[in-house]
Amino acid sequence: MTTEPTHLADLTATRLTAGYAAGEFSPVEAARAVLERAEAAQSATNCFTRIDADEALAGARESEERWRAGEPAGPLDGVPVTVKDLILTRGAPTLRGSRTVRAEGPWDEDAPSVARLRESGAVFVGKTTTPEFGWKGVTDSPRHGVTGNPYDPDRTAGGSSGGSAAAVASGAGPLSLGTDGGGSVRIPASFCGIFALKATYGRVPLYPASPFGTLAHVGPMTRDAADAALAMDVICGPDWRDWSQLGPAAGSFRAELAGPVSGLRVAYSPSLGWKVPIAPEVAAAVRGAVDTLAGLGASVEEIDPGIADPVEAFHTLWFSGAARVVQHLDDADRALLDPGLQEICAQGARYSALDYLAAVDTRMALGQAMGRFHSAYDLLVTPTVPITAFEAGAEVPSGSGHTRWTGWTPFTYPFNLTQQPAATLPCGVDGDGLPIGVQLVGARHADALVLRAAHALYEAGTAQIPAPPTPAGS
């Protein structure tokens, strides 16, 4: 049995709100602890674009009054949160990692997920780093520099929600909002040893609509699955600005955590059937998580879903979206862009409408194939990423032979194409002490089931890995 953390910055959102209700500590005390940790994490990993202590403490004081009166605004009242710097946040610039975005704003609107957090009384600590316009699976940008990994700042935090993952792992708030267009909450969560969920497309309303179209999702990044379920109960609230949002969820995600794992039909696919080199320590740790599911009563079969790698279709859709992002820029601004982003934008601009529609056809066939697969299996389990964190500041590991980030993330982007819910949780560490992630994928709309299985793995101890070093100065 593990010992419960005692430092307020290390507590989950669920534990914080229970402590507020019992009068053990206050939202102001928690905010001060988290702000101290945020400053230290920023010095160690460069995970923030903005830390707003005044706003956080003001919000914490208001929360404290509500808890004293026994009238919390919602399930996350007083919980310190951070927001990826691609998501609109009222009163704070959303710079998107780009020197082409003007900081003066106005910044007078919350994205739907941020608005729901604010209504629930969450305490906003700051904005977290992203690569420019979220274009790649690591986090560095011309505007804000390189974000390191809390376990080793010389390694990448992953991306594109790398700042959020590093912040949560470092204790700079138990919850962050990230975005995921090809693995962007799952990749950094795997590298940084935390939980993340890419929900079914449309389950969490998104506004403004992403230029990457229906590949892009908003998702919670947390210390465990229970906190993610708590967050989902809040951020899935309806918002008319997203015309593609789904209808109300069937019930509480948090309440669904108590359901059984016994009897679930689990497909374990070590590599999706593709010729992907998997680090041996990753393969062994993921196999261990699968064995735990079997020990909990799930029916496990090692089987591949029988799909081909859709990377070319993904590139067509992703690179076209990138070209659309920068379409309005003049030559002077284009020269300010990340060189890798310039390359994929040029490629994306060369695709024709027929190329794009052919990629859509591939996407639809993939979705149909996975729908058929999930008629036989409740969950698909894979490694989240076939490797652990590599050198910071590089798009691909040195010596890998890959040219783009998609070369080392083959298990994440397929499920953006299919819009399925997919989560990652830690399942071990490698010989360097770097986290390893296991990915759980469900059928479309099976978000609660994915969270339930992940929670069961947390309860069984699968995710008990060493914490990263506490940042100096906290």
| Residue 464: inside a domain | no
Residue 149 to residue 152: CA distance in whole angstroms: 5
Please report, in angstroms and rounded to a whole number, the separation of the first and last CA atoms in the chain. Answer: 26
Q: How far, rounded to the nearest angstrom, does the alpha carbon of residue 398 sit from its chain's CA centroid?
A: 25
| Residue 2: inside a domain | no
| Residue 470: inside a domain | no
| Domain encompassing residue 248 | 9-459
Residue 427 to residue 463: CA distance in whole angstroms: 5
Bridge-based pairing state of the strands 145-146 and 195-198: unpaired
Residue 147 to residue 176: CA distance in whole angstroms: 16
The enclosing domain of 69 has a CATH number of: 3.90.1300.10
Residue 76 amino acid letter: L
Element (H, E) at 42: helix 27-45
pLDDT in tens, 162-175: 999 999 999 999 99
| Residue 383: inside a domain | yes
Under a CB-based contact definition with an 8 Å cutoff, are residues 2 and 12 in contact? no
Residues 6+ apart with CB under 8 A from 80: 30, 31, 34, 35, 56, 60, 122, 123, 125, 172, 173, 174, 175
Element (H, E) at 414: helix 414-417
The DSSP secondary-structure symbol of 24 reads: S
| Residue 468: inside a domain | no
Separation in Å, CA 400 to CA 274, 322, 396, 407:
17, 24, 7, 9
pTM over 0.95: yes
| Residue 123: inside a domain | yes
Tens digit of pLDDT per residue, the chain (474 long)? 356 787 999 999 999 999 999 999 999 999 999 999 999 999 999 999 999 999 999 999 999 999 999 999 999 999 999 999 999 999 999 999 999 999 998 999 999 999 999 999 999 999 999 999 999 999 999 999 999 999 999 999 999 999 999 999 999 999 999 999 999 999 999 999 999 999 999 999 999 999 999 999 999 999 999 999 999 999 999 999 999 999 999 999 999 999 999 999 999 999 999 999 999 999 999 999 999 999 999 999 999 999 999 999 999 999 999 999 999 999 999 999 999 999 999 999 999 999 999 999 999 999 999 999 999 999 999 999 999 999 999 999 999 999 999 999 999 999 999 999 999 999 999 999 999 999 999 999 999 999 999 999 999 999 999 999 998 887
Residue 395 to residue 405: CA distance in whole angstroms: 6
Q: Residue 138, Cβ neighbours under 10 Å: how many? A: 27
Q: Of 440, 462, 457, which Cα lies nearest the Cα of 377? A: 440
Beta bridge partners of 185: none
Show which residues are catalytic.
84, 160, 184
| Residue 3: inside a domain | no
pLDDT in tens, 200-211: 999 999 999 999
Residue 27 to residue 62: CA distance in whole angstroms: 9
Q: Work out how many domains the chain is built from and give that number.
A: 1
| Residue 4: inside a domain | no
pLDDT in tens, 62-87: 999 999 999 999 999 999 999 999 99
pLDDT attached to residue 25: 98
